[in-house]
Amino acid sequence: MKLLDRFPKFRLPLWASFLGAVLLAGGITLLALWCQPNALRTVLTIFRAQPLLIILNAMPIGLLLLTFTFLFRNVFFGAALVNFGVCALSIANRIKLEVRDEPVFPRDFALLKEVGSAMGTYDIRFPVKVIAVVILVSLILAAAGLFVGSRPFPVARLRGIFGSFLGAAASLGILAVLIFTVYASDSLYNSFTVSNAYYIPSVFNELGFPYCFCHQFTTYSVDKPEGFSKSEAVGWETGDTSGLGKDVHVVMVMNEAFSDITDDPAFAYTEENDPLPNLHALRQSPHAISGHVVVPGFAGGTANTEFDVLTGMQTNALSATTTSSFRVVNRNLDSLFRVFSKDGYRTSFFHPGDDWFYNRENVYRWLGAETTRFADEMENLQYKGRWVTDDYMARYIENAFEESVADGKLLCSYTTTIQNHMSYTADKYGAGYVYPEVPLNVSVSEQAETLLKVYIEGARDADAMLGRLTSYFSGTEEPVVLVFWGDHLPYLGDNQLAYAELGMEIAVQADDLANSLAAYETPFVIWANDAAAETLDWESAAPALDLPENGTISASFLGAAVLELTGRKEESPWFSFLNDLRRELPVVQKEAYMKMDGTYTKLIGSSQLEEIRKWRCWSYYKLMDKDVAE
């Protein structure tokens, strides 16, 4: 400080220091927005239409500036530090968007080690001019602080260190309160108009990086389980091996909104007009296992079901608040892909949608998929309405299978379809499309009837996809296991309109656990062609899974069951644990459980509670701490 005192200073009065803080905060906000990949002019146009965004972006920067102004007792020194820090973070966001099409989140600070090791794997083009401008502005502000200071605070007691820390603490305190109230508000965040609410990078670009970054402090949280011990979890991670399984191709298809709601007595379908003939036929096949999986969400949350099936963790157990599992994934994780990959399989994920949706492009790399293919890499796409058809994806799977066979590789593929995605309006498949009538034993409104017609048309095509794949794989001498299920039930109107009018228990809001969990049940079938049935010794392997009589299991157990069926139960201690837990509690959905006899309960024994605790703690370790090599 003695060195700084040698510079002649112009002392600003208190009001001028605060005014300077406001103006400098505005300037830093503009510079931070200019650092982003989109044009500043575009952002300002959006801000003019929604002026509250100006305050929401500038407020956290202003409060940070006040914090350091109090500490340094100099508004320009505070501005220099805040400008450098905020703009550096903004530049990091720009680089991450360009490299991985994903913004910077607050949780990234916990991954600095991973970021450092990953730097060498990307071709990063640093915005040299932008970096130079930020450094230059920061130096100019610091230099200004050498010549322009602030007058002492008028209250003598607050002029020293105590006053500096009190002012800084107050500023940070206000910022913290705002982050956990105003910035945490989903209703406020969702009230702003954006071009694509599902594309997070676009939202960051349009609403402003400072505001979106602050909003993310309270989203996508992961709760540490009570009693978690990292050293204890490390002890569970022993016994990984490979090469124990049977050599069969594994083809997994998660079909958008696939369900068997048409089996409900409210419908009057006959064998002649059955919309799901292939599913029903497979349920009678000696080489098939069928039942229902209890998925994480109702009428949405496709990626959450992917996460549960592939990792064996549960989205609904990650946080007490609603979360998106793929948004909390930011590191390599154990998954089905990694188990099959160790056995020499080609592992692939196919989805005829955008790679940025649910951040799948990055997440599937972290899950260990060797190959990912999205709509932009698929040729000659075929559409029915606005979505790629299930029939196209069936052919795509067949081609991928043939390529693997030609290359002498076993295939483990996971496909998420998209054709039967909502909304189920009359124009879904184009103006004038004629939908088959839906025979009913009850009367429903015209709106509900339209929803059902459109949805069941997609379900009919999904079942045709199942039939096509079983027919195709029946004709090959290669051993193939096909796993086919739905990601969630369809959205059929506000307040479960169509379900309620049909009188289905899915619409019942009651204390009956069976009724409440019915909203989360979708059908699954695991089928083996003749070659796979022989390779696996199906007559012994299928019953050995010990599925409950009603065939209902949590989605988190489906992938583990596939590993056991193909002889890989002991290759992974994690998936082995899940298979053992499944035999105790086939369904775990938050605090609701289904026992092996098919009864539901909220009360389980102490040993079972301990197993659930182990599951939660082990999941937390895998998600947050375990280092998984590529």
pLDDT band at 152 (very low <50, low <70, confident <90, very high): low
- What's the CA gap between 194 and 77, in Å, rounded? 36
Nearest to 409 by CA among 286, 249, 559: 249
What are the tens digits of pLDDT across the range 191-244?
999 887 767 888 899 999 999 999 988 888 889 999 999 999 999 999 899 999
pLDDT of 1 = 46
pLDDT band at 114 (very low <50, low <70, confident <90, very high): very low
Contact 254, 416 (CB under 8 A): yes
Q: Say which range, 168-172, 176-180, 322-326, 457-461, has the weakest mean pLDDT.
A: 322-326
Averaged pLDDT for residues 583-612: 93
Averaged pLDDT for residues 364-371: 96
pLDDT at 365 over 50: yes
Q: Say if residue 163 is exposed, middle or buried (CB neighbours under 10 Å; 0-12, 13-18, 19+).
A: middle
Q: Which domains does the chain have, with CATH numbers?
A: 2-218 (no CATH), 248-519+614-624 (3.40.720.10)
pLDDT at 154 over 60: no
10-47 burial, b if ≥16 CB within 10 A, otherwise e? eebeeeebeebbeebbebbbebbbebbebeeeebeebb
pLDDT at 8 over 90: no
DSSP string, 352-372: SS-TTGGGHHHHHHHTT-SEE
Residue partners of 267: CB distance under 8 A and separation at least 6: 261, 438, 439, 440, 441, 502
What are the tens digits of pLDDT across the range 469-481?
999 999 999 999 9
What are the tens digits of pLDDT across the range 518-542?
899 999 999 999 999 999 999 999 9
- What's the CA gap between 367 and 310, in Å, rounded? 8
pLDDT band at 417 (very low <50, low <70, confident <90, very high): very high
pLDDT of 106 = 86
Contact 371, 346 (CB under 8 A): yes
Mean pLDDT of all residues belonging to the chain: 91
Secondary structure element (H or E) that encloses residue 337, with its range: helix 336-342
- What's the CA gap between 372 and 219, in Å, rounded? 27
What are the tens digits of pLDDT across the range 347-360?
999 999 988 888 89
What are phi and psi for residue 42, nearest 5 degrees? -65, -40
pLDDT more than 90, % of the chain: 73
pLDDT at 411 over 90: yes
pLDDT of 320 = 83
pLDDT band at 117 (very low <50, low <70, confident <90, very high): very low
pLDDT at 13 over 90: no
- What's the CA gap between 343 and 248, in Å, rounded? 11
pLDDT at 37 over 90: no
pLDDT of 536 = 98
In sign, the C-alpha dihedral spanning 385, 391, 392, 397 is positive
pLDDT at 185 over 60: yes
What are the tens digits of pLDDT across the range 285-319?
999 999 999 999 998 889 999 999 999 999 999 98
pLDDT band at 159 (very low <50, low <70, confident <90, very high): low
The long-range contacts involving 142-146, CB below 8 angstroms and separated by at least 24 positions, are 142/76, 142/77, 142/80, 144/76, 145/72, 145/74, 145/75, 145/76, 145/77, 145/80, 146/4, 146/7, 146/9
User: Can you give the pTM of this predicted structure?
Assistant: 0.83
What are the tens digits of pLDDT across the range 441-455?
999 999 999 999 999
Averaged pLDDT for residues 104-127: 63
Averaged pLDDT for residues 75-88: 94
pLDDT of 153 = 58
pLDDT of 511 = 61
- What's the CA gap between 469 and 391, in Å, rounded? 10
pLDDT of 197 = 78
pLDDT of 7 = 56
pLDDT band at 118 (very low <50, low <70, confident <90, very high): very low
Cα angle 529, 533, 534 (rounded to 5 degrees) comes to 120
pLDDT of 218 = 85
pLDDT at 122 over 80: no
What are the tens digits of pLDDT across the range 392-401?
999 999 999 9
